[in-house]
Structure 1
Amino acid sequence: MSNYVLGIDTSNYTTSVAVVDLDGNIILDKRQLLKVPMGKRGLRQSDALFQHINNIPILLNEIGKLKICGKIKGVCASSKPRPTLESYMPVFKASTSFGQTISNVLGCKYFECSHQENHIKAAIHSIDEQFDKKFLAIHISGGTTELLLVKRNSKLGYNIDIIGGTTDISIGQFLDRAGVKMGFDFPAGPRLDEIAFDSKMKLKEEIKMFAKNGEISLSGPETRICKLIEEKMDNEYISLLIFEYIIKGLSSMINYATKKYNMDKVILVGGVASSNFIKTHLNSRINDSTSIYFAKASHCTDNAIGSALIGAEAIFEEE
């Protein structure tokens, strides 16, 4: 008879629960996007937390239908954005509060991981490739663009060092700010990606931005994009230009890190990593010796699969 682990993640964008067995098979994966008013670029923490509190019982009801509660041996909740002591965000109180309560009621083990570790674990799970104990990753999502040196933690999850990234706004913020200004719903990244990916247009300008030693700046590109939007430039041209800026920034970070750390594999994680444009065009801009790995789209966007897998791994190693 199989035993299971429940994962819970409550990010700024999505309420997520997942169940895996101790062999790493995904039994259940349920998510609910948070509702953002038209024209807004996100939610206040208090509003997001309130939605999580309403969403989690609905998602957990799906687990009840499986009739496996007596076989759940652990709960793993995402408790903060990054695996550092000072990392904190109120929305994750929903994840930890529900997680601890369920653990106490069921009398099972309780674990915590970070949202970033959840993303990395979920991404690796969907890729048919072995990663060393130390590897490179780029976390690109709504609020994060970080170049990472990742090491497996002997106890739980990962030790992660930030070795580069944006000096100002994240790639996700760049996409959402531009997309909302263009009149699209938040989050706007998927719509801009669709337009850019389908485009046959050729850009008329050179892609200029700060990109050096693993760091990039998107404030200049954002200013340029806002000017084009105000000038009523075609949405197709603007979308394509936005993603060309992103490709230039990502390729610069990758080429820097693989050379500096003498590594030839990089995994991209987070919601923006599901972009079809990035998947199609990034490889042609990086060193020939470097391999880029993308997770399945379902494992890029916010989820609780990684949290559940980290919990399952911890229980498996204890046994």
Structure 2
Amino acid sequence: MSFVLGIDTSNYTTSCALLNTDDMTVRSCKKLLPVKQGERGLRQSDAVFHHTKQLPELMGQLFDEKYDISAVGYSYAPRCVEGSYMPCFLVGENVAKAVSLACGVGIERTSHQVGHILAALYSCGKLDMLRSDRPFAAFHVSGGTTDLLLCEPDHDEIIKITQIGGSRDLKGGQAIDRTGVRLGLSFPCGKELEKLAEQSEHKIKPKASVDGLYCSLSGIENQCGKLMEEGCAKADIAAYCIDCVSLAVEKMTKNLRREYRDIPIIYAGGVMSNKLIKSRLEKYGSFAEPEFSSDNAVGVAVYAAVREGKIVI
């Protein structure tokens, strides 16, 4: 058996994964970056420090025995566009290059965003979409991204991505995290906000500002702040925040269907691991399992395996 190693050091999570190229099973280890209570994220210098500490620990867990490594992949930037850069990805890049040199195997790099999309396709059992001539659409909704992407299968690049929509201001994950922090939850707040929302007994009708394939989410933070000032129950505010994000994505989805007809749709990114959002949107497209929706290195490993010819899609 041979394995492809994937490494992803995002602004939220340290992650590494081994893809078995014989049976397409994966082993994965990941750990959130620690954020102090009441804060809404990390400085890049702190993210680099925590990745530097956490990645060797996770690699030790991942490699619980000797594995035959045939290729290595890593994420080098948030997105595959000019100017997309975060120092936190350098930690994963350096470790990936060291492993590649030590093992004498090929190395491939891709973006964090491509990793999310490929992880979602892997989880949904739809990797065969990469060999189709038919494009598909992907919603990538996370703490740093709310993008609607046209994905075109490509022999060399695996997929060519063109942004055709998204948020013009606040990102879906930012709206959730900022609301969660104000409610006293730990950052990142997605899981805790979802649990809190499940306790809601008085649903508040959500609002969503959508123009075609683009949305504006900054109003959600303001509206949730106003509800807090009015003494609204925390559970109801949590549910309202999630419902607003969900409604915005649903409206964009419907507009996408009008413009692109029956194009297949994939929902990826940490926000899309929310089961309340999934219950509203799964009739429109495919969702990955939560572990493959949140930040992970599985998609990066898949990318390297395809590029290096270790698997045939």
TM over 0.5: yes
Counterparts of 1:318 and 1:140, CA distance in 2: 28
Aligned to 2:58: 59
TM-aligned CA deviation for residue 225 of structure 1: 0.8
Cα distance 1:317–1:134, how it changes in 2: closer, same or farther (>3 A)?
Answer: farther
State the secondary structure of the residue aligned to 2:39: coil
Q: How does 1:111-122 map to 2 (within 5 A)?
A: 111-122=108-119
Aligned to 1:243: 242
Q: Could you give the per-residue CA deviations for residues 238-270 of structure 1, whole angstroms, max 9, x where no partner exists? A: 112112211220011111112212234211001
Counterparts of 1:232 and 1:318, CA distance in 2: 56
Contact 1:137/1:149 (8 A) holds in 2: yes
Counterparts of 1:195 and 1:225, CA distance in 2: 14
Contact 1:10/1:91 (8 A) holds in 2: yes
Aligned to 2:217: 218
Q: Which amino acid is the alignment partner of residue 81 of structure 1?
A: P
Q: How does 1:1-319 map to 2 (within 5 A)?
A: 2-23=1-22, 25-68=24-67, 71-129=68-126, 131=129, 132=132, 133-203=134-204, 205=205, 207-283=206-282, 291-316=284-309
Q: Could you give the per-residue CA deviations for residues 178-221 of structure 1, whole angstroms, max 9, x where no partner exists? A: 10011111111111112223434332x5x333211111111222
Counterparts of 2:24 and 2:272, CA distance in 1: 23
TM-aligned CA deviation for residue 281 of structure 1: 2.2
Contact 2:305/2:311 (8 A) holds in 1: no
- Higher alpha-carbon deviation: 9-18 or 184-193: 184-193
Q: Could you give the per-residue CA deviations for residues 13-71 of structure 1, whole angstroms, max 9, x where no partner exists? A: 10000011224623420011110000000101110011101111111123443211xx2
Q: Which amino acid is the alignment partner of residue 161 of structure 1?
A: T
Cα distance 1:24–1:122, how it changes in 2: closer, same or farther (>3 A)?
Answer: farther
Counterparts of 1:266 and 1:197, CA distance in 2: 27
State the secondary structure of the residue aligned to 2:309: helix
Counterparts of 1:96 and 1:85, CA distance in 2: 18
Structure 1's unaligned 5+ residue stretches are 284-289
Q: Which amino acid is the alignment partner of residue 119 of structure 2?
A: A
- Identity, % of aligned pairs? 36
Counterparts of 2:122 and 2:188, CA distance in 1: 25
Scaled by the length of structure 2, the TM-score of the pair is: 0.93
Aligned to 1:287: none
Report the aligned-residue RMSD: 1.8
> Number of aligned pairs?
308
Contact 2:194/2:238 (8 A) holds in 1: yes
Contact 2:19/2:301 (8 A) holds in 1: yes
Contact 1:7/1:19 (8 A) holds in 2: yes
